[in-house]
Amino acid sequence: VKYGRAIVVGSGIAGLTSARVLSDHFDHVTLLDSDEIPKSADVRSGAAQSRHLHTLLPGGLDILSDLFPNLENALDKQGGMTAGPSGWYALTSHGKTYRISRFQPTPNSDPDRPNKTRIQTRPLLELCIRQQVEALPNVDVIYQAKAGHIETQSNQVTGVSLQGIQKALKADLVVDASGRASKSLEWLKQMSGDLPEESAVNCDFAYCSALFRPKNISAFTDVGFLISSAREGDYTKRGGSLARVEDGLWQVTLAGRLGDYPPRDLNGFLDYIGTLPVSKMSELLENAELVSGPSQYLFPKSIVRHYERLTSFPEGLLPIGDTICQLNPGYGQGMSVSCRQAMELDSLLRTRRKTEAPLEGLWRDYLPCAFEQTRGPWVFAALMDFSKKGTTGDFPDSEAEGIRKLKILNKRADKGDTEAASLVDSIFDLRLPFSALDDVLV
């Protein structure tokens, strides 16, 4: 027997994935978004990050491919790229490396676990997932519908009111996937509930992105590359990427931190590229013309909200995705974290339904599981960010033992230990949770 009605607030990657998962467990799911959602792969205001590089790591791709078996096909048809094992790499002054966290000069070509990453614009990824969610028979989507207050009866959430519409939508479960706007905090205040503590890493990070059309499409035939920041000199806070995306375009995303932001004017943008430690991007862009941008996105800090520490919480409300954890985008993890959280929800609902258990207390089981999925990405992002002088905030001291193991394993991987490399990579790629290190003796 399925549960009654669920509402998902926000139709970004976390919301779309949640709606798909909930459609297996609820008779009826309503997915809301405040945006007018474009019918084509266009940027929309509620997901302003869509102008910037969005890589889908193997862990997120595994989950999305299971939930949406036609997804990769749809992406391929519309010009999305599959990178791997050799098409996506970082360039450093030492040469090519296939791992962000260590120098690995050759691609990982383990046939059982190919290091497969998907590259496309974020609007295309969203469109391809959205079309499959919209086709689900028990999912209704309402766009230009901004969630306002939460409806409650004592500590039970009973629905959501929409701004400008008098009648509230009723639900047995409301999943908050409203991203950085985070309705949950507002709703907890509305219900006089405790607010979660926050950890933050002040990475002071900025992206600036533009689309270019190459004059000769075969000038670059790999999928894309990152240029890692220089280890020394005047420009240690700069990096960038070039990725082949739909319509034969190149998406160039520059990244800078701690005040050294990439400029928004084209000349400044190109000059910035000229200061990167490898000249490949500059050389390619000499024969390409600007199509759109440059557009900037400032990301002052990574935040994780410790919902898992709360001892009381409204029944019938669950946060997911960026409402819980916003990670420095430079490591490409956020969408995959959302997918892993959605799978935690799936597994908890599956277990409850087996014994016809009610939804009561679901938050108590779910919030720690959702947090668990943020631990690995949070540690990776923090280790990278704190390696840059000037980063401040909450170093993940409580993860000291895992970090110790990770560092040892990374060193072993550097020396060619394939087992150690596979474990570190699987955690970084979000195929395994951070707790996979618990049983490792090093």
Ligand X SMILES: Cc1cc2nc3c(=O)[nH]c(=O)nc-3n(C[C@H](O)[C@H](O)[C@H](O)COP(=O)(O)OP(=O)(O)OC[C@H]3O[C@@H](n4cnc5c(N)ncnc54)[C@H](O)[C@@H]3O)c2cc1C
Residues of this chain that bind ligand X (CB under 6 A):
9-15, 32-35, 46-47, 49, 52-55, 146-147, 177-181, 183, 207, 297, 299, 321-322, 329, 332-336, 338
Least CB distance to ligand X at residue 45 (A): 7
User: Per the structure block, which two tokens stand in for 214?
Assistant: 């190459």
The residue with tokens 């500590």 is: 155
**Which of the 8 DSSP states describes residue 436?**
G
Alpha helix ranges (H) inside 23-163: 58-67, 71-77, 122-134
**Smaller CB separation from ligand X, 46 or 239:** 46
- Under DSSP, the state recorded for 399 is G
Q: Which of 87, 79, 156 is nearest to 115 (CA)?
A: 87
Contact 323, 176 (CB under 8 A): yes
Name the strand (E) or helix (H) holding 269: helix 266-274
**Minimum separation from the CB atom of position 190 to ligand X (A):** 13
Query: Minimum CB separation from ligand X for residue 293, in Å?
Result: 13
Q: Which is nearer to ligand X, 182 or 352 (CB)?
A: 182
What are the angstrom distances between the C-alpha of 279 and each of 126, 153, 206, 241, 350? 33, 62, 21, 12, 52
Measured from the CB atom, the residue of 92 and 326 that comes closer to ligand X is 326
Q: Quick one: 97 or 178, whose CB is closer to ligand X?
A: 178
Spatial distance between the Cα atoms of 122 and 317, rounded to a whole number of angstroms: 27
Rounded-to-integer distance, Cα 389 and Cα 317, Å: 40
Comparing CB distances to ligand X, the nearer of 124 and 177 is 177
Backbone angles phi, psi at 226, to 5 degrees: -110, 150
**Taking the complex as a whole, how short is the minimal distance between the CB of residue 17 and ligand X, in angstroms?**
8
Q: Which is nearer to ligand X, 159 or 321 (CB)?
A: 321
Query: Minimum Å distance from CB 416 to ligand X?
Result: 29
User: Nearer Cβ to ligand X, position 33 or 425?
Assistant: 33
Nearer CB in complex with ligand X: 242/420:
242
Least Å distance between CB 394 and ligand X? 19
Q: What is the dihedral of CA 48, 383, 120, 138, to 10 degrees?
A: -70
Token digits of residue 190? 């509305």
Instruction: Give the whole-angstrom CA distance, residue 3 versus residue 159.
Output: 15
In which residue are the tokens 């943020």 written? 374
- Among 22, 55, 31, 201, smallest CA distance to 122 is for 55
Q: How far is the CB of 360 from ligand X (least distance, A)?
A: 25
CB of 43 to ligand X, least distance (A): 12
CA-based nearest residue to 11, from 303, 305, 306, 320: 320
Considering the complex, state which of residue 334 and residue 433 has its C-beta at the smaller distance from ligand X: 334
Nearer to ligand X, 269 or 352 (CB): 269
- What's the one-letter identity of residue 15? G
User: What's the closest the beta carbon of residue 303 comes to ligand X, in angstroms?
Assistant: 12
User: Which residues lie closer than 8 Å to 153 by C-beta, 6 or more apart?
Assistant: none
Pairing, β 325-326 against β 169-170 = unpaired
CB of 265 to ligand X, least distance (A): 19
